[in-house]
Amino acid sequence: MEDCLFCKISAGSTPAEKVYEDEDFIAFLDIKPVNLGHTLLVPKEHSRNILDMSDTSLQKTGPLLKKLSAVVKEATQADGITIGWNNEAAGGQLIFHTHIHIMPRFTNDGHVHWKGKENISAEEFSQTGTAIRSLLKNNPYL
């Protein structure tokens, strides 16, 4: 897509600090990193997010994500790695081309995880579980 920043980076028309590239993916450093080494893994095939990705691209993502995560952790001497995959604006997605954040983490880096909701009733859990199971059972794509 001609207006997509990540498509432009993949095509080489917009610069980025690339750390990996093959025929299907590109990975480059995030320009506003959580910590230095924060890397974005981006499929070259344009899709909005995981909900729009081709199954083929999705199947290739996992093994590459694992390899890049290990390399980023080692290269930055991080204590851990956080993987972030934001989908849609409400999920924190800012650029609407599928991408995964590989964020090196350090024991005292000041970043904290979100707080989980408390005081959810057993009935709410049950209703939500039933809704998810029902959609999974009746989904023709699974």
Residues taking part in catalysis: 99
Rounded to whole angstroms, how far apart are CA atoms 132 and 142? 13
Instruction: With H, G, I as helix, E, B as strand and everything else as coil, classify residue 28.
Output: strand
Alpha-carbon separation of residue 39 from 1, 7, 26, 64, 141 (angstroms) = 22, 16, 10, 13, 31
| Nearest CA among 103, 105, 95 for reference residue 42 | 95
How remote is the C-alpha of 28 from its chain's centroid? Answer: 13
